[in-house]
Chain A
């Protein structure tokens, strides 16, 4: 190799080393396991209560049994709405008693109370403190997080966009510790 080739190879290896360092720091960071804590979120609308909640303090959590399926939604992302609609349609097909909720993420401005009004979602929450990204380390819009009635994350699913797998299929899902 001549001088120019050594420079090109050095730049490529340097860039790869920088990427590797960023990757290592990201993977080694102690991300929190997702946990459903209504106290850290803002309730924007409660579809089941048949009335828009304009207040920022959530009331008593009405989830008594079954799982809470939460879709991470960024208001500008059309795929998130698609993901939500597919999940709602799957619930209707299976007649499953699960709760489907939307978590508005990566938005510094409070969403309007009418947001996602036509999707059939049970409740809409706003992640005002950006816990989803900053503490849980999640980054893919439209993903689904499944919480048990105690608020523990039991599994998470990629966005159901490709029309292949049924999002409510029992074999799907990744336990949170294996992510």
Chain B
């Protein structure tokens, strides 16, 4: 894809995440920010999108540096653009989650795709940390892991096994860290 189209594509994905941030920002917080300053809500949304893209940068940077330690090169800009593109699967998962929240009967059907977190009400005994970390586990997340690994394998011209093992391990370790981190932050308090 020509470079100028890559920029346009990144802007389009950023617009998707901006739209997601407007939905995810709690009404109470938005109204409070709005009272502070009219520009505060836009600033908060922009920071949210920037933070998300910084996360994509860290994710891409981790894989690039990992392979660089073996003197193998993955083109940074190209790989970052792919990671941003794969994030649309998360965006789709969020959309399906919203759909399930409005049609509770659809949750069992959508959960294998969008994530087992849609079935949270069936297992109320599981802690909030476990749901926050593994709630997105589903077909879309699996596809994102596979595509991330495949893109590394293509860039390295190597078999899929190594990149897939690395991507799976990275996902698993970060999910477990989120689980324990959320539990430590909330203590015995309930959270949604």
Contact = CB atoms under 8 A, between A and B. Distances in A.
Partners in one complex: yes
Interface of A: 1-2, 4-5, 8, 12-13, 15-16, 19-20, 22-23, 26-27, 31, 78-79, 82, 86, 133, 136-140, 143, 156-158, 161-163, 174, 178-179
Contact of A156 (B27, B28, B176, B189): B189
Given A156-B189, A161-B29, A174-B124, A26 B69 contact: no
A138 B187 contact: yes
A137 B187 contact: yes
How would you classify the secondary structure of chain B's contact residues: helix, strand, loop or mixed? helix
28 contacts: A2-B69, A4-B69, A5-B69, A16-B173, A16-B176, A19-B177, A23-B180, A23-B184, A26-B184, A26-B187, A78-B32, A82-B28, A86-B28, A133-B187, A136-B188, A139-B189, A140-B187, A140-B189, A143-B189, A156-B189, A157-B190, A161-B26, A161-B29, A162-B26, A162-B28, A163-B28, A174-B190, A179-B190
B183 interface: yes
Contacts of A133: 187
Nearest to B191: A158
B188 to A, nearest CB: 4
Contacts of B185: 139
B109 interface: no
Interface in B123-180: 124-125, 173, 176-177, 180
Contact of B181 (A1, A8, A19, A79): A19
B31 to A, nearest CB: 9
B187 A139 contact: yes
A79 B28 contact: yes
Contacts of A82: 28, 32
A178 B29 CA distance: 29
Nearest to A34: B188
Contact of A161 (B28, B173, B180): B28
Contact of B188 (A8, A138, A157, A161): A138
Interface in B11-70: 26-29, 32, 66, 69-70
B186 interface: yes
A179 B188 CA distance: 6
A5 B70 contact: yes
A12 B186 CA distance: 23
B189 A162 contact: no
Contacts of A162: 26-28, 192
Contacts of B180: 19-20, 22-23
Contact of B183 (A26, A158, A161): A26
Given A16-B176, A16-B177, A163 B26 contact: yes
A27 to B, nearest CB: 7
Interface string B65-87: 01001100000000000000000
Contacts of A12: 173
A1 to B, nearest CB: 8
A163 B186 contact: no
